[in-house]
Structure 1
Amino acid sequence: MTKTVTVAGASGLVGSNIVKEALERGYHVNGTLRDASDESKTKWLMALPGAADRLTLFSAETTDSASFDAALQGADAVFIACFPPIYKATDGTPAKELDRARGYAEIVAPVRDGCLNVLAAAERARVKNVMLCSSTSSTNPPEGVAVKTETNAVSDAEFQMSEGKFTSAEKIVMETAARDFCVRHDMRLAILLPTMMLGPVILPQHLEGDSAGFVTSAVRDGKTRHDKVPAGSMSVSHVGDVAKLFLAAYESGARGRFFAVYDSVPWRDLYAELGKHVPREIMPAPLEGEPEEPTRFDFTRRDSLGVAMRDIHSVIAETCDWLKSKPFG
């Protein structure tokens, strides 16, 4: 019998690609989004190969645990990908400008509580396999490490909040709450940690996001994210590879945290690759001097999942070529 999996956040950048990958592998998929009658999102999901026969969409709000009950009935696993970073408070105040009380209440707590609501619904439905999308922003301990592993690179939420980094703190608080819940209820938990994700997207709305924006702004809008090439680096992956990591973690019975990036690359090198595909005159001013040393990772655990990650050259080239084809008209 074909297994059913539930994707919470099916219309998000990561969630929609998990839906696509799961359908390609023959699963029945129950997907949740805030409003399953919103055709500006559902039409793209239902156009995926296999969706007509094996994708069912449900409305669900992370503030209401019971709203996930129907989507989780009969599922073997839940993929939780419905918590993109929150950068602003409810009144529009940037997260970094909030005090401790407001930052926790308006940025951190909603993500923690929402994740626990989804997990509570999964526990009621006796779903024992949980795949959670977090972020490498949860892998920045107060004292840096020379080479990051999933076990030595764990953020300290209180330290992050003391520096006003509530958007980063939300991820490690969510992970900790999810881990404790799954331990108490004997549920298997795998946590995937991506950063900037490029590659073709499924919904046109994703072109406006922070990840795709690095390439979209240059190819479509004729401008770049930076006026001058930054000295730092960015961790990058192909969003399709991230989805494959999620499915691999599920199918292999994996537990714990896994980096979901190809590597960390200096912005100088990212712009050098982008510059091969866009007009030279729109490129940012070059970096003076050498870039900072990029983050170093130990990818032993990631590689144990058996997914061949596409390199930066290939990812940027594919993304640029795809955008130039005007995929959404």
Structure 2
Amino acid sequence: MENTRVCVTGGSSYLGSSLIKRLLEKGYTVHATLRNLGDPFKVGLLKGLPTLGADNRLKLFEADIYNPDEFETAIQGCNYIFHLATPLQHEPKDTQFKDTSEAAVSGIKSIVRSCIKSGTIKRLIYTASVVAASPIKDSGSGFKQFMDESCWTPLNLSFAFANKVLIDYTHSKSLSEKELLKHTSGDLEVVSIACGLVGGDTLLTTMPESMGMLISQITKDSRRYQTLRFLEELLGKVPIVHIEDVCEAHILCMEKPSINGRFLCVSAYLSSAEIASHWEKNYPSLKIAEEFVEDSGRDIGWGSTKLKKIGFEYKFDAKVILDDTLKWAQKMGEFASSQNTVVPK
């Protein structure tokens, strides 16, 4: 591991920072990219990781997905790359790309070229999203029986609770993942890991959006709850996963001798009503307003087994994911003072 160099794009993100910490703990040397090396918070987050040897095994590079050729320097000399960086909203001043989809797809193409040019990269692992894996039928009339790796989101349909940002993000992640998987037959091995809504804990000092969505019913956060419901309408139910399982799944897909293809990374598949039921059952002091509980009553199952077939085992179930998210939210002051001492029943 000491002789293995790994590149992580989008290093200061929720997942990026946690993945880098785990890689350093395992002894890898890490090249991490940030959009701006002049940002003291993001640089300090990574340079301050409490990991033995991080000072000389972590090197930071500046690179922006809107200027994808900038990633080439960070990729040079590495053996593997985790591509997490993704445009969340379109840069209005950008004239090179018309939207986030064009920027994301261009980023994939450029990074693939840089990986091949490097002569050292064995495998490109892309952090995809379950928003690209909707089990809805192409006609839009109902859902398939199961959600698995064969599912792709139809991009010509409209969905309840959608807004421009969510639709743009869905298109961006769908098109960029499809672009990546075009290269599975080449010399470069490529893997996409489509992650569910991530919860658990965080190295960040502000609440990650995905964690905020998981607790939106008890924080009465209407905007985040609407996004949670969008996921439910898009995917049938809400796929969730613990941050530690996500990191371990990424690392397993790197450490395998040879691997290609698409994998969904989700340990529980719940309706938003089932999430609300968890809070009401285990935290009776938390009152959920009626407008934050809607039961779709859908009968749809989880059918993905590809990660398990290559030897991955999820360590965290739905209860732990939700409880850890709530615990961390309390530490970060996401609740009123009267709720700061909330404990399970």
- Relative to the length of structure 2, the TM-score reads 0.78
Residue 125 of structure 1 corresponds to 118
Instruction: Kindly state the Cα deviation for residue 156 of structure 1 after the two structures are TM-superposed.
Output: 4.0
Give the paired residue count: 308
Residue 139 of structure 1 corresponds to 133
Residue 92 of structure 2 corresponds to 90
Task: Summarize the Cα distance change of 1:90–1:296 in structure 2 as closer, same or farther, 3 Å threshold.
Answer: farther
Residue 108 of structure 1 corresponds to 101
Instruction: Kindly state the Cα deviation for residue 293 of structure 1 after the two structures are TM-superposed.
Output: 1.9
Q: Which runs of 5+ in 2 are unaligned?
A: 335-345
Residue 151 of structure 2 corresponds to 153
Partner Cα separation in structure 1 for residue 247 and residue 56 of structure 2: 21
**Mapping for residues 228-247 of structure 1, pairs under 5 Å:** 233-247=237-251
Residue 98 of structure 1 corresponds to none
Q: 2:65·2:86 contact (CA, 8 Å) conserved in 1?
A: no
Instruction: Kindly state the Cα deviation for residue 210 of structure 1 after the two structures are TM-superposed.
Output: 2.8
**Which region of structure 1 is more displaced relative to structure 2, 318-327 or 15-24?**
318-327
Instruction: Kindly state the Cα deviation for residue 89 of structure 1 after the two structures are TM-superposed.
Output: 7.3
Code of the aligned partner of 1:23: L
Instruction: Kindly state the Cα deviation for residue 53 of structure 1 after the two structures are TM-superposed.
Output: 3.0
Pick from 293, 297, 322: which aligns with 2:328? 322
- Relative to the length of structure 1, the TM-score reads 0.82
Partner Cα separation in structure 2 for residue 197 and residue 84 of structure 1: 18
Q: 2:144·2:300 contact (CA, 8 Å) conserved in 1?
A: no
Residue 28 of structure 1 corresponds to 29
Code of the aligned partner of 1:298: G
**Mapping for residues 140-219 of structure 1, pairs under 5 Å:** 140=134, 142=138, 144-150=143-149, 152-157=150-155, 159-160=156-157, 165-181=167-183, 183-184=185-186, 186-205=187-206, 207=207, 209-215=208-214
Residue 94 of structure 1 corresponds to none
Instruction: Kindly state the Cα deviation for residue 294 of structure 1 after the two structures are TM-superposed.
Output: 5.6
SS in 2 for 1:170: helix
Partner Cα separation in structure 2 for residue 134 and residue 278 of structure 1: 36
Code of the aligned partner of 1:180: K
Partner Cα separation in structure 2 for residue 42 and residue 307 of structure 1: 33
Matched, 1:313 2:310: no
SS in 2 for 1:105: coil
Partner Cα separation in structure 1 for residue 331 and residue 292 of structure 2: 29
Q: 1:277·1:317 contact (CA, 8 Å) conserved in 2?
A: no
Instruction: Kindly state the Cα deviation for residue 149 of structure 1 after the two structures are TM-superposed.
Output: 2.4
Partner Cα separation in structure 1 for residue 79 and residue 32 of structure 2: 13
Instruction: Kindly state the Cα deviation for residue 200 of structure 1 after the two structures are TM-superposed.
Output: 0.9
Partner Cα separation in structure 2 for residue 137 and residue 176 of structure 1: 13
**Which region of structure 1 is more displaced relative to structure 2, 305-314 or 272-281?**
272-281
Residue 280 of structure 1 corresponds to 286
Code of the aligned partner of 1:241: D
SS in 2 for 1:183: coil
Task: Summarize the Cα distance change of 1:294–1:177 in structure 2 as closer, same or farther, 3 Å threshold.
Answer: same
Residues 38-69 of structure 1: per-residue CA shift (max 9 Å, x gap) = 11112122222142232111111123343222
**Which region of structure 1 is more displaced relative to structure 2, 167-176 or 276-285?**
276-285
Instruction: Kindly state the Cα deviation for residue 192 of structure 1 after the two structures are TM-superposed.
Output: 0.5
Matched, 1:68 2:61: no
Residues 9-65 of structure 1: per-residue CA shift (max 9 Å, x gap) = 111122222212211211111100101231111212222214223211111112334
SS in 1 for 2:303: coil
Partner Cα separation in structure 2 for residue 263 and residue 285 of structure 1: 24
Instruction: Kindly state the Cα deviation for residue 283 of structure 1 after the two structures are TM-superposed.
Output: 4.3
Residue 100 of structure 1 corresponds to none
Task: Summarize the Cα distance change of 1:218–1:324 in structure 2 as closer, same or farther, 3 Å threshold.
Answer: farther
Q: Percent identity?
A: 19
Q: 1:188·1:255 contact (CA, 8 Å) conserved in 2?
A: yes
Task: Summarize the Cα distance change of 1:65–1:116 in structure 2 as closer, same or farther, 3 Å threshold.
Answer: same
SS in 2 for 1:30: strand
SS in 1 for 2:180: helix
Code of the aligned partner of 2:151: A
Task: Summarize the Cα distance change of 1:298–1:218 in structure 2 as closer, same or farther, 3 Å threshold.
Answer: closer
SS in 2 for 1:79: strand
Quote the RMSD (CA, aligned, Å). Answer: 3.2
Q: 1:223·1:283 contact (CA, 8 Å) conserved in 2?
A: no
Instruction: Kindly state the Cα deviation for residue 78 of structure 1 after the two structures are TM-superposed.
Output: 0.5
Partner Cα separation in structure 2 for residue 307 and residue 20 of structure 1: 20
Q: Which runs of 5+ in 1 are unaligned?
A: 92-103
